[in-house]
Amino acid sequence: MIEWLTAGGTFGGGELVYTGGPVVIGIAAIGALLVFAFAVGPGLRRRIPEFGALGLGLGLVVLVVARPVWLAESERVEPGRLVVLIDASRSMAVAEPGGSTRFDAALALAERIEPTEVFHFGGELRAGAPLGATLDGTDIAGALQALSRRYAGEELAGIALISDGIDRGGLIRVDPAGARSLDPSVLPALPGPLTVYAAGSARDVADVSITHVVSGSFAFLRSPFQLEVLVERSGMAAEAVPVTLTRNGQTVGTSTATFDEAGRGRAVFKLSPDAPGRFVYEASVPVAADDAVPSNNRMSRVVRVVRDRVRVLQVCGSPSLDQKFLRLFLKEDPGVDLVSFFILRTQADLRSGFMPDEISLIEFPYRRLFSDDLPTFDLVILQNFDYEAFFERDSARLLGNIADYVRAGGALAMIGGDRSFDLGKYGGTPVADVLPVTLGVSGAAVDEAAFAPVLTEAGARHPVTRLVAELSENAALWQRLPSMHGTNLTGGAASDAGVLLSHPSQRQGGAALPVLAVRQVGLGRTLALTVDSSWRWSFSEAALGGGNQAYLRFWKSAMRWLVGDPDDQAVVIELPRENVEPGESLQVTVRVRDAGFAAVPGATVVGSVSGPDGEVPLSGLTGADGHVGFGVPTATRGAHRVKIRALAADRSELGSAETVYAVFTRDPELDRISADAETLRALADATGGAFVPGGTWSPPLRKEAAGRVVTDRRESALWSAPLLALVAASLLSLSWWFRRRAGQR
């Protein structure tokens, strides 16, 4: 009883401990002593029963506050555990001959083993059975090391490892000669005997895969470049496979890859991009019925097509100040590659009887220019050019070529003069079908009266005629520009054209006669300027002390709009790289500018990134520089498309843009897909374990003497027993009864 009260000893396989806080116990003891001292009075001998009951009662109260607990512990030995490790990397999802996957075989083996505990692994060890073969970076040695740490100090009855043997960790070392061998230094001391089960057949799995798409990070517009597709095969007897290449989903070519003795082949595509921007090129090979990994039969890569320089063809019927100023502007621009013809031999000159070397005029290679060379130009300018004197009987085909060039994405500008529009007999030709004005006027085809063009409502906001950003200042600038010396007359604007400048008095069909009109035709753009004196904008402004900025801005904006350069739009998406590795950080920047190409701060930018994993929304506001940045997903391989819209503060549309990027690499988990039984056999040998080949069965090795000591702990909270409280209350009540009987209060 003394040992129990003092907690100084044990009996019956247990011990008494006090769980109350020392401070609380001390306060309770001091309080009990004070109460006892206060109760002591005269007649001590006659009041021994009272004081005895009071002391015992107060002692029990202090005991309750000390919270005594009786702890009883016992030990027992449990049998050793059998642990199963399942390889859950993506290579386990490869289909074996017969249709089932290695992962299916692994699950069937695990059920047959009847383990005590199950783990799965890829690059790291994870508890529980796997839901699928989806993990990266198979590390067999790392999984065994983690298991050894987890069961340090405990003997296991056995360890069963189920894998295809394709290790991406440090289990295999390769010497300078290329020989592969197992590295025993990475293996831990295992807590139990190891049995290694091979999931997968020893023979090669049938597979054809694209291992790489080789191209430069960018290509030049209309300049040939080469794209190479590397292909490998295994477990198949095919001597060659067709390789199909698409651009943004449209087929651009098919080639054949012939395999060498090592099972490697390649297909080469020679391409000549016809538009600037970023394009997704995807190479693919057919999926055979027995192809184990259909997912590696295609691969995407993004190629950015850029303009080295804007290639311009300027053709003039005769020299003039307008031709001279425009040619000088184009020639001095370092971003323009100009081909200009303006003093030309006509067919009449050739029939004049003079020999070619007796004529000073240069020969005009019109057939080659408007046939073979036409697609190499970004912009064609017909400036006061009368085709009939040069084209003769071939005019229908050559003019048709120009119209087709525009619809395919080219740009055409026609400038007025006494040899242009209806005066140049373009009415009824294929070129007339793509112009932003209609031809075929009856009567006079020119008005020689001077006039000042009027900026239309559409022209006030169009980038071609938005010479300055602020609307009122832009309108005032156009009003200050000098008059034009006459204009070509037309049948008015085409139904889908935009009129930017109009005549103040001439009308056609009830509407003001267009002086400057633009039009989108198919994939291309056209512009019609019915005057031949825009050069006056340069001289007049210079006379006012303002330089020639109006002239330069107009033609710069016109050329920029005509060629439709993606980097010169109101909304532009900038990417630092078009092709990234999985998981690599990628930040896109959206640049928003107004019609005058000034930065727009505070614009709302909304959009999304769509890829193999679905769609991710984007939203943000531009800063003072008109830029806003977004981090975009790069976790999944394949092409990703970014689409963006920009809205002004009043929710009006500022513009939209889209671009693409590719998460580009071959899945390292599928670099090798043939099961590596030799590695698994070497692992079993290095650990003194057993190896079970694929498709066979043998029970796992077991160490029957293995086990673990388990301690059972039982706690009994004595302080909460009702009897203890009842006894304390009874003793305190008895003390009070003795006190009252002795005549004390």
- What digits encode the pLDDT tens for the residues 364-373? 677 888 888 8
Give the Cα separation of 599 and 628 in Å (integer): 11
Assess whether pLDDT exceeds 70 at residue 690: yes
CATH 3.40.50.360 for domain 582-663, yes or no, is no
The answer on pLDDT for 691 being more than 90 is: yes
Q: Contact at 8 Å (CB) between 119 and 147?
A: yes
Average pLDDT for residues 181-203, to the nearest whole number? 88
Mean pLDDT over residues 103-111, rounded? 92
Strand pairing category for 277-284 and 240-247: antiparallel
Beta bridge partners of 590: 573, 628
* pLDDT value for 62: 76
- Mean pLDDT, residues 155-172 taken together: 90
Distance of CA 594 to the CA centre of its chain: 28
Q: Cα separation of 576 and 636, whole Å?
A: 19
- Least-confidence region, from 412-421, 438-447, 669-678: 669-678
> What would the pLDDT profile of 49-58 be if each residue is shown by its tens digit?
766 777 777 7
Lowest mean pLDDT among 441-445, 492-496, 625-629: 441-445
pLDDT at 346: 55
pLDDT at res. 7: 38
Confidence tier at 612 by pLDDT (50, 70, 90): confident
**C-alpha to C-alpha distance for 116 and 695, rounded to whole angstroms:** 23
* Residue of 469, 434, 528 lying closest to 654 (CA atoms): 469
Residue 1: band (very low, low, confident or very high) from pLDDT cuts 50, 70, 90: very low
* Cβ-proximal residues to 234 (8 Å cutoff; 6+ apart), any chain: 204, 205, 206, 207, 263, 673, 674
Helix (H) or strand (E) holding 526: strand 524-529
Architecture of the CATH domain 81-307+678-705: Sandwich (2.60)
Strands of the sheet with 240-247, listed across from one edge: 218-220, 298-306, 277-284, 240-247, 250-258
The CATH code of domain 310-564 reads 3.40.50.880
- Compare 307 and 227 and report the one with higher pLDDT: 227
User: Band of the pLDDT at 8, cuts 50, 70, 90?
Assistant: very low
**Residue 5 pLDDT > 50:** no
pLDDT band with cut points at 50, 70 and 90 for residue 4: very low
pLDDT value at 348 more than 60: no
Closest CA to 681 of 702, 696, 669: 696
Higher pLDDT, 582 or 126: 126
Residue 75 has pLDDT above 70, yes or no: no
Structure confidence at residue 347 as a pLDDT band (50, 70, 90): low
3-state secondary structure 250-262: EEEEEEEEECCCC
**Of 190-199, 371-380, 453-462, which has the strongest mean pLDDT?**
190-199
Q: Which residue has better confidence, 354 or 126?
A: 126
Tell me which residue has tokens 């090391």: 145
Q: Do domains 81-307+678-705 and 582-663 have the same CATH topology?
A: yes
**CA dist., res. 123 & res. 104, Å (int):** 20
What whole-number percentage of the chain has pLDDT above 70? 85
Return the higher-pLDDT residue of 63 and 329: 329
Instruction: Please state the rounded mean pLDDT for residues 613-641.
Output: 90
Strand (E) positions, 702-745?
707-717
273-332 tens-digit pLDDT? 877 888 889 999 998 887 777 878 888 888 888 777 888 999 988 888 888 999 998 888
As a whole number, the mean pLDDT across the chain is: 83
Higher pLDDT, 347 or 406: 406
Q: Which residue has the tokens 């894998």?
A: 163
Coil, strand or helix: which one is 702? coil
Query: Averaged over 337-359, what is the pLDDT?
Result: 61
Given pLDDT bands bounded at 50, 70 and 90, which one contains residue 673?
A: confident
Can you tell me the distance from the alpha carbon of 328 to that of 529, in angstroms, rounded to the nearest whole number? Answer: 18
Residue 359 to residue 344: CA distance in whole angstroms: 10
370: left (phi over 0), alpha (psi -120 to 50) or beta: alpha
The stretch 16-22 carries a mean pLDDT of 77
Integer Cα distance of 334 and 363 in angstroms: 27
pLDDT of residue 543: 47
pLDDT score, position 341 = 83
Task: Please report the pLDDT score of residue 360 as a whole number.
Answer: 42
CA-based nearest residue to 663, from 639, 699, 695, 632: 639
Q: Residue 172 is encoded by which pair of tokens?
A: 């295999």
Identify which has the larger pLDDT, 494 or 392: 494
Q: pLDDT by residue (tens digit) across 242-273? A: 999 999 888 999 999 999 887 889 999 999 88
Dist CA 342 CA 324 (whole Å): 9
Q: Identify the bridge partners of residue 198 per DSSP, sorted by sequence position.
A: 163
**Strand partners for 228:** 214, 268
Q: Within 481-548, where are the H helices?
A: 536-543
Whether the per-residue pLDDT at 388 is higher than 90: the answer is no
Residue type, 735: S
Q: How far is CA 129 from the centre of its chain?
A: 32
Residue type for position 255: S
Which residues have CB under 8 Å from 211's CB, separation 6+? Answer: 230, 231, 232, 666
Distance CA 215, CA 300 (A): 11
524 near 402, Cβ under 8 Å?
no
* 390-411 pLDDT tens trace: 777 788 899 999 999 999 889 9
Give the residue, 354 or 739, on which the prediction is more confident. 739
Which tokens is 701 given?
């090795």
| Main-chain dihedrals φ then ψ at residue 456, nearest 5 degrees | -80, 170
Q: How confident is the model at residue 3 (pLDDT cuts 50, 70, 90)?
A: very low
**Order of all β-strands in the sheet with 207-214:** 207-214, 225-234, 264-271
| CB half-sphere exposure, 669, CA atoms < 13 A | 22
Residue spans per domain, the chain: 2-76+713-741, 81-307+678-705, 310-564, 582-663
Query: How far is Cα 533 from Cα 551, in angstroms, rounded to an integer?
Result: 11
pLDDT of amino acid 499: 93
pLDDT at 10: 44
Rounded to whole angstroms, how far apart are CA atoms 155 and 64? 44
